[in-house]
Amino acid sequence: MNHINSENIDSLERWAITREAILGAVQQVMGDVPGRNRAHPPAWSVIDETAFTGYTRYRITYESEPDSSTSAFLCLPDGIGPDQPAAGVLCLHPTNHDHGYEDVVGLSGRPNRSYASELAERGFVTIAPSYPLMASYQPDIDTLGYVSGTMKAIWDNSRALDLLDSLNEVVSGSYGAIGHSLGGHNSVYSAVFDDRIQATVSNCGLDSYLDYKDGNIQGWSQKRYMPRIGTYGSLNDIPFDFHDLISALAPRACLVSAPVDDDNFKWRSAAAVVEAARMVYRLHNAEENIRIIHPECAHDFPVQIRQTCYDFLAQHVGSHDG
């Protein structure tokens, strides 16, 4: 499973070969990235809109593929336009079986989750898609040809960026991605397969599969995630791990927030993941682009940590108000 070591990663050329092998291994588990035509942005429509101080929030649906529409929130800051476009951020929600994507715009009632709204207040255009097979978003992924909810989410998220690319109020082609918990690893997965994501923030989103719940991989093998990951006889047989995924982001920016009291993902394991990936960033002369922090909190996203993450995004993808 350990693709990354000093013996096989001694040049960017050799790393490129290893990276392709990692992407192939990921697709063995998640299923292939769809080969659908993306020449045109998805059709989308507004369901409702609400004006706030500094931005307007639109509840939308967009056609993520011909037979599947995805609900999302699109937040547009005031004062942006073709002559003054804003940077965009993909905001991926945590697990919430009742509210789903509403969590990140303050509609679930849960504290410390409204990062799509807060980033819009800071001048970013944000888009927050629903995660498949959660809350009201229940696509028939079998009929659509997916073997995992994870790959359906990756595709939906890329189509959300296609939508942003089509808006003249947005700086196209370079985005951030941020998420807590489910949204944290969803951000990493999406960035691996979409290099328009130039800065990735994962809060409480990962540790090694070997360490997750002391080796109980069942949570990862649900249909909404990756059913195939539960078919390996040994955890060591899983053909990739998070150090592979983070390394595949290099030299793009990545911030991992791994709280010391998180009871879901182990902070020491997350630290080992980042340390293993650091080797590849060093090879790219981009070690400053990978960072890990260890807040003194539980499985949460408190305000001080969110501000650190927002500053990281502003540093690497910018914002309307700087």
Residues 223-280 pLDDT 10s: 999 999 999 988 999 999 999 999 999 999 999 999 999 999 999 999 999 999 999 9
pTM of the predicted model as reported, rounded to 2 decimal places: 0.96
On the question of pLDDT at 318 being above 80, the answer is: no
Residues 26-37 pLDDT 10s: 999 999 999 888
Rounded to whole angstroms, the Cα distance separating 77 from 123 reads 6
Residues 112-164 pLDDT 10s: 999 999 999 999 999 999 999 999 999 999 999 999 999 999 999 999 999 99
Q: Which residue has the tokens 């296609």?
A: 162
Rounded to whole angstroms, the Cα distance separating 291 from 262 reads 18
On the question of pLDDT at 5 being above 70, the answer is: no
> For position 35, what pLDDT does the model report?
87
Residue-wise DSSP of 50-96 = EEETTEEEEEEEEEEETTEEEEEEEEEETT-BTTB-EEEEEEE----
